[in-house]
Amino acid sequence: MTTTVHAATTVVPVVSPPIADGAVAVTDGTIATVGRRADVVAAHPAAEVVTWDGVLTPGLVNAHTHLQYTSFDAVGAAPFPAYVHWAERFVREYSARAEEDWRATALGGVAAGLRAGTTCFADVVTDAPAMDALVASDVAGVAYFEIIGVGEERWTASVEEQVRDVLTSAPRSTHARVGLSPHAPYSVSERVIRASCALARRLGLRIHTHLAEIDSEEELYRSGSGAWADRVRSRVSRPWPLLDDGGSGLGTVEYAERCDLLGPDSHVAHGVYLDPAGRRRLAETGTVVALCPRSNVTVGIDPPPVAAYLREGVPFAVGTDSLGSNRSLDLMDDVAALRALAVDAGYVEVDLDRRLLAAATVVGARSMGLDEIVGSLAPGRRADLAIFAVEPDPGVVERALVATGAGRCVAVLTAGRRRHDVT
């Protein structure tokens, strides 16, 4: 066995307080010991010691992204006035790129994330060739194969078999897994969502969906009416019970639960337009929400109510979404945006930075069922490490990481192997 000790002015395990003059011992790609440098070196006297000029943290966890759209940077470069305008522009871009090498663009997305300190991804994959990007890059996460625009007839005729084939044949590893993403309750019929979720659960896979991203989404679910219902109706020619029957009479979270989309084996993206009862129900079902604040600005919707999530104790993670709705895949930019939103809404409690850092690491890992593998610095975890050039004083290091960490990642390791290093 080979052991290397990685030492830094401050080590931030996330699951325990910052450690001044700390270190992490890595044996064959796995964390063996975390503590003060002197103690860790004494426990591994034969180990090579690598000293980093920066703050050492777990690799970040991007809990919602679409890596295959890394080439869509022209779409995500500037804000749109409303979601419908962004959606139309995105669809045009996707149609124009019918011959895109989706695997190559997804691999480019992983590389961009690594440069910013992200080592674990919840990747929604629309086109099957991109399903192996996480495994091919030897990073952690879940590749969620997406179902979108599917009605009952198509599902029964061919799509169910196609989805099963993709899910069962896609590459996976101990730390890079496969899941299913019914796009949203407004874009996939209820029976198909329930059937697809049942398929995923039979295969032991996780589930991920978009929820409460659009301001008129709940009106669609309740009564089959409103601006977004009108847009869906104009684009769907097949029978659509939710619209044809005048809605379900249920709110957003209630309807998602009826569709079997919630639970400890699932997480949702966005969660912008939820009331306290809806947020509480997510927590009760064990469903984590991934907040994507910069993407919200680009697509023309409201910011996530992060202060409410914090005050109510509702677990949340952080996502960048894709370059089709964001200017970078630097997760710490989204963490800083969440901090600003929380402070503007009056949340200035002393736990703010600690909880936001946890959202970008261990809670994100938990949202994918990977928190026993990545997301924190603890013995037995995969040695996914990030080093940031920020203020190392343990008393302020969490605030420094949250507020100024964007663009300051200087090195990244996965399973103890250097992946990005500018030191």
Share of the chain above pLDDT 90, in %: 94
Contacts 24+ apart (CB under 8 A), 340-346: 341/293, 341/303, 341/304, 341/306, 341/307, 342/306, 342/307, 342/310, 345/305, 345/306, 345/307, 345/308, 346/307
Could you tell me the two tokens for 58?
Answer: 């777990």
Confidence of residue 313 (pLDDT cuts 50, 70, 90): very high
The Cα 353–Cα 276 span in angstroms is: 23
Residue 182 has pLDDT above 70, yes or no: yes
| Cα atoms found within 13 Å of the Cα of residue 90, Cβ hemisphere only | 21
- Region 3-59+376-421: CATH code: 2.30.40.10
Query: Bridge-partner residues for 51, per DSSP?
Result: 7
Q: What is the mean pLDDT of the chain?
A: 96
Give per-residue pLDDT as tens, 332-350. Answer: 999 999 999 999 999 999 9
**Measured on CA atoms in the order 359, 361, 362, 366, is the torsion positive or negative?**
positive
Confidence of residue 423 (pLDDT cuts 50, 70, 90): low
Q: Can you give the pLDDT at residue 234?
A: 83
Q: Are 181 and 148 in contact (CB under 8 A)?
A: no
DSSP letter (8 states) at residue 344 = H
Give per-residue pLDDT as tens, 348-374. Answer: 999 999 999 999 999 999 999 999 999
Could you tell me the two tokens for 111?
Answer: 């590389």
> What is Dmax (Cα atoms) for the chain?
71
Contacts of 67 (CB under 8 A, 6+ apart): 105, 106, 107, 108, 109, 110, 113, 121, 123, 125, 130, 133, 322
Give per-residue pLDDT as tens, 115-143. Answer: 999 999 999 999 999 999 999 999 999 99
Model pTM score: 0.98
Confidence of residue 422 (pLDDT cuts 50, 70, 90): confident
Q: Are 7 and 51 in contact (CB under 8 A)?
A: yes
Q: What are phi and psi of 316, to 5 degrees?
A: -145, 150
The Cα 72–Cα 75 span in angstroms is: 6
Ramachandran assignment for 259, one of left (phi > 0), alpha (psi -120 to 50 degrees), beta (any other): alpha
Q: Kind of pairing, strands 30-36 and 19-27?
A: antiparallel
Contacts of 285 (CB under 8 A, 6+ apart): 257, 262, 263, 264
Confidence of residue 396 (pLDDT cuts 50, 70, 90): very high
Residue 237 has pLDDT above 80, yes or no: no
**What is the mean pLDDT of the segment spanning 159-188?**
97
Q: Can you give the pLDDT at residue 184?
A: 97
**What is the mean pLDDT of the segment spanning 46-66?**
98
Q: Can you give the pLDDT at residue 238?
A: 72
Residue spans in the chain of domains classed CATH 3.20.20.140: 60-367
Give per-residue pLDDT as tens, 238-254. Answer: 777 888 889 999 999 99
Residue spans in the chain of domains classed CATH 2.30.40.10: 3-59+376-421
Confidence of residue 320 (pLDDT cuts 50, 70, 90): very high
- Region 60-367: CATH code: 3.20.20.140
Q: Can you give the pLDDT at residue 1?
A: 84
Confidence of residue 385 (pLDDT cuts 50, 70, 90): very high
Residue 302 has pLDDT above 60, yes or no: yes
Residue 16 has pLDDT above 60, yes or no: yes
Residue 221 has pLDDT above 60, yes or no: yes
